[in-house]
C-alpha cells in the first residue's frame, strides 16, 4: 500500500508517529518524515494512524490514486 501525507495540512500532532513508528517519524519538532510504501505488516497500524490524524492529512491506497487525478 502507498500513502501520501499532505504536509501543508499536517500540524505535527504526531498521532501517526505513536501508532506507526516504523512508518512515521518526527524530525525536529515539526517536520514529519514517512515511508510512502508501507510494508504489509504495518498496514493495520497505518490505517489506525490515518483514522487518528486530527487533520486527516494521511491519504491511503486508493485515495492516493484518486487524489493524483
pLDDT score recorded for residue 30 = 79
Give this prediction's pTM.
Answer: 0.85
Beta bridge partners of residue 33, listed in sequence order: 25
Local structure of 67: helix, strand or coil: helix
Domain ranges across the chain:
3-68
For 18, the grid coordinates are: 505513536
Phi, psi of 19 (to 5 degrees): -85, -30
More confident residue, 29 or 59: 59
Distance of CA 4 to the CA centre of its chain: 6
Local structure of 36: helix, strand or coil: coil
Fold of 3-68: Alpha-Beta Plaits (3.30.70)
Write out the H or E segment, with its range, that includes residue 19.
helix 15-19
What digits encode the pLDDT tens for the residues 33-60?
999 999 999 999 999 999 999 999 999 9
More confident residue, 63 or 28: 28
Amino acid at each position: 500500500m502507498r500513502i501520501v501525507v499532505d504536509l501543508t495540512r499536517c500540524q505535527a500532532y504526531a498521532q501517526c508517529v505513536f501508532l506507526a513508528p516504523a512508518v512515521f517519524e518526527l524530525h525536529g519538532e515539526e517536520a514529519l518524515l514517512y515511508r510512502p510504501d508501507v510494508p504489509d505488516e504495518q498496514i493495520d497500524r497505518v490505517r489506525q494512524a490515518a483514522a487518528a490524524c486530527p487533520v486527516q492529512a494521511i491519504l491511503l491506497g486508493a485515495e492516493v490514486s484518486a487524489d493524483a487525478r
